[in-house]
Amino acid sequence: MGSEAIVVENVSKRFNLRHTRSLKETVVWLFKGRRGELSSTFMALDGVNVSVDRGESVALLGFNGSGKSTLLKLISGVMSTDTGSVRTRGKVAGLIEVGAGFHPDLTGRENVYLNGVILGMTEQETAERFDEIVEFSEIGKFIDTEVKFYSSGMFLRLAFSVAVHTRPDVFLIDEILSVGDEPFQKKCLARIQELRDSGCTLVVVSHDLDMVSRVCSRGVVLRQGKKVADGPIEEAVRLLRES
Ligand SMILES: Nc1ncnc2c1ncn2[C@@H]1O[C@H](COP(=O)(O)OP(=O)(O)OP(=O)(O)O)[C@@H](O)[C@H]1O
């Protein structure tokens, strides 16, 4: 890898369309020597190539089901590719699914430590940044409450706060800011812009075209699992608005 922070090379991902089959259909299929597919599959991503330079801020755009979240999960490493490869450089953190990596029976405090470790911080680093994390999240006295009693917005606040405090090299954000209330969304956005300005690489999945226009300089448009455009954010946004 040269100046790139992320290299996605010829990546494909296939999912099963889980049809419900009757017992009879299954028996017939077995007797026919398992000929044909019992369940059909489809390509969520089909031969996608994207490379992102260090410090770039890229939006993954496209209509529902076009493969954006799948691509982000492959970049984060929580899901593996069927074919092709994904390489990243540096510490990757972010918010893919709100609450992923949080344990419901643990308190906010315990989850900060758990999540910190998952995102690559040492216990000492987490301890040093703990007060800042809690302050940013505005969770206040609920920090010692089990997170199963948190609202989705509270979950988001704490998860976002831990993720930004890991000082990542690559920050991945899926359409999650929508759970937060407006003041918190603004605060998150400001923090994301700060990260970007300090040289962090950003990949953002969102349908909020105004937001991505402000945060990202480049847009990659997916359609039915294929990359159909990749260029300046204004052009990518225009393409989506016109289609
Ligand atoms: N784990 C899975 N198993 C089966 N199908 C899946 C799985 N994850 C995603 N899919 C399917 O893959 C396709 C792409 O999904 P993905 O979530 O990547 O789309 P998206 O572009 O992020 O959509 P949206 O804008 O609605 O969030 C969809 O048809 C979805 O149903």
pLDDT per residue over 50-96, tens digit each? 999 999 999 999 999 999 999 999 999 889 999 999 999 998 988 87
Query: What's the gap in Å between 89 CA and the centre of ligand 1?
Result: 26
| pLDDT class of 218 with cuts at 50, 70, 90 | very high
Residue 97: per-residue pLDDT: 67
- Cβ neighbors of 197 (< 8 A, separation 6 or more) are none
User: CA nearest 60: which of 211, 201, 222?
Assistant: 222
Residue 18: per-residue pLDDT: 67
Handedness of CA 205, 151, 141, 104 (dihedral sign): negative
Query: What's the gap in Å between 7 CA and the centre of ligand 1?
Result: 21
Nearest CA to ligand 1 atom 18: 67
Query: What's the gap in Å between 173 CA and the centre of ligand 1?
Result: 16
Determine if ligand 1 sits within 6 Å of the CB of residue 206: no
Determine if ligand 1 sits within 6 Å of the CB of residue 20: no
- Rounded to whole angstroms, the Cα distance separating 137 from 235 reads 35
Nearest CA to ligand 1 atom 9: 70
Nearest CA to ligand 1 atom 24: 64
Q: Residue 43: left (phi > 0), alpha (psi -120 to 50), or beta?
A: beta
Q: List pLDDT tens digits, range 152-204.
A: 888 888 988 998 898 899 999 987 677 778 888 888 889 999 999 999 999 99
How many beta carbons lie within 10 A of that of residue 127, not counting itself?
13
Domains of the chain: 4-242 (3.40.50.300)
Query: What's the gap in Å between 69 CA and the centre of ligand 1?
Result: 7
CB-CB contact of 160 with 195 (8 Å): no
Name the pTM for this structure: 0.87
Query: What's the gap in Å between 67 CA and the centre of ligand 1?
Result: 6
3-class secondary structure per residue, 52-63: EECCCEEEEECC
Q: Which residue has the higher pLDDT, 156 or 44?
A: 44
Question: Kind and range of the H or E element at 83?
Answer: strand 83-88
Residue 41: per-residue pLDDT: 82
CB-CB contact of 99 with 154 (8 Å): no
Tokens of 85: 């490869």
As a whole number, the mean pLDDT across the chain is 90
Residue 22: per-residue pLDDT: 75
Determine if ligand 1 sits within 6 Å of the CB of residue 80: no
What mean pLDDT comes out for the span 115-144?
93
Determine if ligand 1 sits within 6 Å of the CB of residue 15: yes
CA trace torsion 210, 215, 221, 226 (10° rounding):
-140
Ligand 1 atom having least distance to the Cα of 73: 18
Q: Mutate which of 46, 69, 82, 96 to test ligand 1's pocket (most atoms within 8 Å of Cβ)?
A: 69
